[in-house]
Amino acid sequence: MKKIFWMTRIAVLAIVSVLCCTACDKDEPTPTPTPGGGSGSGGSGGSGGSGGSGGSGGGTVAVTAVKLDKTTLELQINGHETLTATVEPANASVKIVSWSSSNEGVAKVSTSGEVTGVAAGTATITAKAGGASATCAVTVKKEEKPLVALDVKITGKIDHTNYTKGQSGTVEFNRFPATVDEFKAVREKIGGEPHGAVALQVMAMEMYRRDRSIGLECIKLNNTLSNVNAVVSRLKELFGGDINYNRPYQIAAYLKGAEPGNGYNPTKPYTVEVIVDPAKAYQPSEIFQSKFLFLRIKTKGRDNGSSGQNGTSDGLYVLKTKKPGEPGEKGKFFIVNNSAGMHSQVKPISFDHEFKGLD
């Protein structure tokens, strides 16, 4: 009797299980297909892929064309002009543009499309995205665009040792240094002051945008060893080929008079305005056997409402140190230990205005 009872119980359970599964199948909603072929409930679609025929769930939109705002360009030696690339279609999945010159001895091009005349002759500048590309024929004339004498002035006072809220300083200059030697000459003039080191950081970062090798040497001169890689890695992104991410006007945003609404075109002479961080006192550093000074740059390119410091960059750390191996010539010059606030994206430019570049 026990055997018959257990067999009957098993049979009943099996019937109940079948009925429950059938009910579940009827109540289960049908997955909604996505544009790429994958299912809305996260399942894979197509023939073995995660969407479509092996693509991702959202699909991939390929670049079909690249267009330049100019197909021909004339420059003087030392002259420069920025080309603007447009990737089609507008909803392309990846909008990364790479730039190259057929003859860098005649004309070189930066990662953001700025072309500089090097010597008389002709060259072809190519902008490429995905499998599409566009070209611009560049002619560099024999006439050399004279570089006006570099004029730099530093004013104001920021105490080197005692934190004093409200102190500020400015650096004015008529153009950016063109060579490492010019950068060194400027450092001799302003590098002994905290706000001078900040202005030198602005210069070095813009020089990196124009010429990677020259800019890198200047960044090395003005930063602690630990900060060099942090700066360069971020600048590669900011001045890279991703149209949606890059900011060729990033450095202009730290110059007086520049704002998104005017294309980040600053007033001249260029002016870097620096203030002592009102919320952060100086701090000693055992590693550098020195003291960190916390400063900010005035800018219209950032919103720092969370820190209560709207109208300024995030903080920069500068110091003088005699630590072996560090730049700054054994404490002669201030150097930058942290400038993360300067390489966070500034607000995007207004569509109604054009960034005209910096001298």
- Judged by average pLDDT, the poorest of 42-56, 90-104, 133-147, 229-243 is 42-56
- Judged by average pLDDT, the poorest of 58-62, 80-84, 304-308 is 304-308
Query: What pLDDT does 111 receive?
Result: 81
Query: What pLDDT does 163 receive?
Result: 97
The whole-number average pLDDT for the span 59-82 is 90
Q: Is the pLDDT of residue 38 over 90?
A: no
The CA–CA distances, whole Å, from 338 to 27, 56, 257 equal 59, 39, 25
- Judged by average pLDDT, the poorest of 50-59, 224-233, 241-250, 267-276 is 50-59
Query: What band does 22 get if pLDDT is binned at 50, 70 and 90?
Result: very low
Report the distance separating Cα 248 and Cα 231, nearest Å. Answer: 15
- Judged by average pLDDT, the poorest of 89-98, 127-136, 195-204, 264-273 is 89-98
Query: What pLDDT does 90 receive?
Result: 87
Query: What band does 304 get if pLDDT is binned at 50, 70 and 90?
Result: low
In tens, the pLDDT along 100-146 reads: 999 998 999 988 888 988 899 999 999 998 889 999 999 999 887 78
Is the whole-model pTM more than 0.75? no
Query: What band does 314 get if pLDDT is binned at 50, 70 and 90?
Result: confident
User: Domain 65-144 belongs to what architecture?
Assistant: Sandwich (2.60)
The whole-number average pLDDT for the span 78-103 is 88
Residue type, 265: N
In tens, the pLDDT along 195-231 reads: 999 999 999 999 999 989 999 999 999 999 999 999 9
First-last CA distance in the chain: 102
3-state SS record for the chain: CHHHHHHHHHHHHHHHHHHHHHHHHHHCCCCCECCCCCECCCCCECCCECECCCECCCCCCCCCEEEECCCEEEEEECCEEECCEEEECCCCCCCECEEEECCCCCEEECCCCEEEECCCEEEEEEEEECCEEEEEEEEEEEEECCCCCCCEEEEEECCCCCCCCCCEEEEEECCCCCCHHHHHHHHHHHCCCHHHHHHHHHHHHHHHHHCHHHHHHHHHHHECHHHHHHHHHHHHHHCCCECCCCCCCCCHHHCCCCCHHHCCCCCCCEEEEEEECCCCCCEEECCCCEEEEEEEEECCCCCCHHHCCCCECCCEEEECCCCCCCCCCCCCCCEEEECHHHHCCCCCCCCCCCCCCCC
Q: Is the pLDDT of residue 4 over 50?
A: no
Q: Is the pLDDT of residue 32 over 90?
A: no
The gap from C-alpha 163 to its chain's centroid, in whole angstroms, comes to 31
CATH 2.60.40.1080 in the chain, residue ranges: 65-144
b/e map of 134-168 (b: 16 or more CB within 10 Å)?
Answer: bbbebebeeeeeeeeebebebeeebeeeebeeebb
Q: Are 238 and 228 in contact (CB under 8 A)?
A: no
The CA–CA distances, whole Å, from 298 to 111, 195, 295, 341, 342 equal 27, 12, 10, 12, 11
Query: What band does 55 get if pLDDT is binned at 50, 70 and 90?
Result: very low
To the nearest whole number, what is the mean pLDDT of the chain? 83
Query: What band does 312 get if pLDDT is binned at 50, 70 and 90?
Result: confident
Give percent of the chain above pLDDT 70: 82
Query: What pLDDT does 58 receive?
Result: 59
Residue 41 token pair: 């409930």
Q: Are 314 and 307 in contact (CB under 8 A)?
A: yes
Query: What pLDDT does 309 receive?
Result: 56
- Judged by average pLDDT, the poorest of 44-48, 292-296, 339-343, 355-359 is 44-48
The whole-number average pLDDT for the span 320-343 is 95
Q: Are 145 and 79 in contact (CB under 8 A)?
A: yes
Report the distance separating Cα 186 and Cα 216, nearest Å. Answer: 16
Total Cβ atoms within 10 A of residue 29 = 7
Higher per-residue pLDDT: 195 or 311: 195
In tens, the pLDDT along 159-177 reads: 999 999 999 999 999 999 9
Query: What pLDDT does 84 receive?
Result: 87
